[in-house]
Amino acid sequence: MRAPDGTGRFAGNVAYYERYRLAYPDRLLRRVTALAGLAPGDCVLDLGTGTGMLAIPLARQGFRVTALDPEPAMLAAARASATAEGVVVDFQDGASHDLAPGMGPYQLVTIGRAFHWMDGAATLAMLDRIVGPKGGVALFHDAHPPLDENRWFKVLYDVARKFGRSEGEHRKERNGGHRRYEPFLFASAFTQLDWLSVTVRQPLSVDDIIGRALSMSTCSPDRLGARQDEFSARLRDALLDVSPDGCFTEVAELVALLARREA
């Protein structure tokens, strides 16, 4: 995605984003599309698609997927992945402010880890115009519960704060940094809310965690610049202080909030 002024946020993150970001489990997507009442052939819009982490598996399920993102490097990676998997997705250059009344109608609009970059009220108002009467919006994110196995997560963010922006500055850039969806949704046409989630547990190496860090906007290669090697070395040392063998475990909750119009 790119900032409202057109400057890219994630151009330098693409390789790390594609390889190290958490994927959305198929069982979570199937629960969302089932609750949304989708059938094969229904039209889905994936807004802020990035590398296609939602668009491609939704296309595998048989939906007609249009996917928008304003970052050309992200779209190139998404197109390559879709081709490799043999699925058809209509990838287009565009952001939330490029939505227009003539689009759709869509049965479902998905937004993965991107709503916080958008003007939430304006985006939902336009989605009301291009989502069908029985359609909905699904907002996706991930969370790491405060378990001992996730102690590496705090280490990552402690080091990232020293090298990147402060969390306060980051939230200001992200349209105020509102981390809850409900205030926006209850002020929109989509007020029937259902939370769905899947929890995964997987091993991580030091390199996996460093790659995850470099996929984030707060400590992207573009932002770090000449400090990238120093950042990676500092993070590696901090992680090895916690687990000298370099072996970690991640427990993550992949979450979707499905918002529909009241029946």
List, for residues 88-139, the tens digit of each pLDDT value: 999 999 999 999 999 999 999 999 999 999 999 999 999 999 999 999 999 9
Q: What are the distances in angstroms from CA 14 to CA 95, 138, 149, 211?
A: 17, 23, 27, 11
Angle at 195 between CA 191 and CA 199, to 5 degrees: 165
169 pLDDT tier (thresholds 50, 70, 90): very low
**DSSP 8-state code for residue 6:** S
Of 50-54, 175-179, 214-218, minimum mean pLDDT range: 175-179
CA 108/CA 87 separation, integer angstroms: 19
166: pLDDT strictly greater than 50: no
9 confidence band (pLDDT: 50, 70, 90): low
Q: Whole-model pTM?
A: 0.90
Give yes or no for a contact between 215 and 189, defined as CB atoms under 8 angstroms apart.
no
Q: Which residue has the higher pLDDT, 2 or 102?
A: 102
CA 163/CA 64 separation, integer angstroms: 42
Q: What is the pLDDT of residue 223?
A: 87
Does domain 11-143+167-199+251-260 sit in CATH 3.40.50.150?
yes
Predicted confidence band of residue 3 (pLDDT cuts 50, 70, 90): very low
